[in-house]
Amino acid sequence: MSISRAQFLKSFGASVAGLAAGSGIASAAQALANKVATATPATAALPPVAGATPAAPVHFIGSGSGFGNRIAISFDDGPTPGVTEVVLDELKKRNIRSTFFMIGKRVVAAPDLAKRVLAEGHEVCNHTFNHLKLNSLPDQQVDWEIQKTQDTIGEVLNQKPAWLRPPYGAFRKNQMGIPVSKDLGVVFWSVDPRDWSQPGEAKIVDTILTETKPGSIILCHDLHKQTANCIGQVLDGLLARDFEFINMSEFLGQPFASRVA
Average pLDDT over residues 137-150: 97
Higher pLDDT, 22 or 91: 91
Distance CA 62, CA 76 (A): 15
Kindly report the three-state secondary structure assignment for every residue of 201-236: HHHHHHHHHHHCCCCCEEEEECCCHHHHHHHHHHHH
Banded pLDDT at 194 (limits 50, 70, 90): very high
Q: How many CB atoms lie within 10 A of CB 44?
A: 7
Residues marked as catalytic: 76, 221
* Mean pLDDT value of segment 107-135: 98
Residue 112: how many other CB atoms lie within 10 Å: 10
User: Any idea what DSSP says for residue 123?
Assistant: E
Instruction: Give, for 102, the enclosing helix (H) or strand (E).
Output: strand 99-102
Neighbours of 87 (CB within 10 A): 26
Alpha-carbon span 172 to 135, nearest angstrom = 6
Average pLDDT in the 126-150 region? 97
DSSP assignment, residue 61? B
pLDDT of residue 48: 45
Average confidence (pLDDT) over 140-145: 98
pLDDT in tens, 163-179: 999 999 999 999 999 99
pLDDT digits (tens, 9 = 90+) for 4-54: 444 433 343 333 333 333 333 333 333 333 333 334 443 333 444 444 444
Residue 191 has pLDDT above 60, yes or no: yes
Q: Look at residue 32 in the predicted model and tell me its pLDDT.
A: 35
Average pLDDT (63-67) is: 70
| % residues pLDDT > 90 (the chain) | 69
- 77/58: higher pLDDT: 77
Q: Which residue from 64, 77, 96 is spatially nearest to 189, judged by alpha carbons?
A: 64
CB-based contact 61:188 (threshold 8 Å):
yes
Predicted local distance difference test score (pLDDT) of residue 3: 38
pLDDT at 102 over 70: yes
Task: Pick the more confident residue, 98 or 49.
Answer: 98
Rounded Cα distance between 91 and 70, Å, is 16
What residue ranges define each of the domains in the chain, with the CATH number in brackets? 2-24+58-260 (3.20.20.370)
What single string gives the DSSP state of each residue in 145-192? HHHHHHHHHHHHHS---SEE--GGG---GGGTHHHHTTT-EEB--SB-
pLDDT at 256: 73
| Mean per-residue pLDDT, 131-141 | 96
Cα separation, 91 vs 216, in Å, equals 18
d(CA 68, CA 50): 40
Residue percentage of the chain with pLDDT more than 70 = 74
Is pLDDT above 50 for 197? yes
